[in-house]
Amino acid sequence: MPACIHIDAITSIRQPQCRECEECVTVGAYWVHLRTCQQTRHTTGHPVISSAQPGEGWLYCYPDDAFAEY
């Protein structure tokens, strides 16, 4: 995978406030996979997400198509 300086710059992983998507639960939808935004597009131009599923530890940058485990 290509390198992404935005993934390397994340020093603290933000964790979600709940274990499921509140919007999905509100409309009665089944939750598939919880993810957390780590950096906003407005700040860096590169949205970076991480998994919020128990036992998973990864980051993904959309524009660079870069994946990293932690």
- Where are the chain's structural domains? 5-69
DSSP 12: S
Which residue is it, tokens 């509140």?
A: 22
Please give the pLDDT value at position 44: 76
Beta partners for residue 67, in sequence order: 60
- Residue 36 sits at the vertex; the CA angle it makes with 29 and 28, to the nearest 5 degrees, is 10
DSSP lists the bridge partners of residue 50 as 36, 59
Residue 40: the pLDDT is: 61
Q: Dump the DSSP string for 22-55.
A: HHHHHHTPPP---EEEEE-HHHHS--EEEE-STT
Question: Which pLDDT band holds residue 1 (cuts at 50, 70, 90)?
Answer: very low
How does pLDDT run across 4-62, given as a tens digit for each residue? 887 877 878 877 676 667 777 788 877 677 788 886 667 777 888 998 888 889 999 98
Match domain 5-69 to its CATH number in 3.30.2320.80, 3.40.228.10, 3.30.40.10, 3.40.50.970.
3.30.40.10
pLDDT at 66 over 60: yes
